[in-house]
Amino acid sequence: MILSPSLFNSDLYFIKETLDKLDLLGITHLHIDVMDNHYVPNLGFNAGFVSNLKSHTNFILDCHLMVEKPESTILDFIEAKPDIITFHYEATVHHSFIINKIKNSNIKVGLAINPSTSVEQIKMLLPFIDLILVMTVNPGQKNEFFLPFTLQKIEQLNLERKERNYHYDIQVDGNITDQTISPCVKAGANNIVSGGFIFNNNDIQNNIEKLKVAIN
């Protein structure tokens, strides 16, 4: 089970202290939100930030592109050399082009789907990806509630993975708390993104422990 804190929700003034604390707590993955204020109504990190993290830390960097037409910026993020680049199915029509660009750079490729996107729409791409990100809220929006119907998609993806011997991780992102994490894991998710909950009140250690207890 992978727990991937979303740095967008952390206090960036204390970024060095935060990263040191996460390392001591055994966290190996970081989720980096990239937002363009077009595809989603917010701004997030850029390729330069990803590159700096790669140079100065040993975390596995999971770069989540919430941007329109990711094919126009994908080379910038490939140059930053994260370990995983995830783009949104709904943000482009050039899925195969982006997948091949990422894979040919020896970077794992992830595909994100919004709550309204069905598993049927992406089935033809599943053999080619390393990670499928199921958004459990509408991306980029504030104070969104966890959407329980997304659990059905996790179950479908888990079934596809087993029946066809696929090897992708199933990641969830969106209001993941000690209350919502367990249903996601039971449905088949094995890669958990949490930001607002982990960094709430800067009580990182206690909040991570709550998530681990809820998983078990």
58 SS3 class: coil
How much is the pTM?
A: 0.95
**Residues 62 and 32: beta-carbon distance below 8 Å:** yes
Please report the pLDDT score of residue 190 as a whole number: 98
CA–CA gap between residue 18 and residue 24 (Å, rounded): 10
CA–CA gap between residue 186 and residue 129 (Å, rounded): 22
**Residues 116 and 152: beta-carbon distance below 8 Å:** no
pLDDT in tens, 149-195: 999 999 999 999 999 999 999 999 999 999 999 999 999 999 999 99
Please report the pLDDT score of residue 143 as a whole number: 67
Higher pLDDT, 39 or 101: 101
Annotated active-site residue in 33, 36, 62, 130:
33
All domains in the chain, ordered by first residue: 2-215 (3.20.20.70)
Residue 173: active-site member: yes
Residue 62: active-site member: no
69 SS3 class: coil
How many residues are there in the chain? 216
Q: Tokens representing 93? A: 């029509």
142 confidence band (pLDDT: 50, 70, 90): low
Please report the pLDDT score of residue 216 as a whole number: 86
Annotated active-site residue in 76, 173, 178, 203:
173
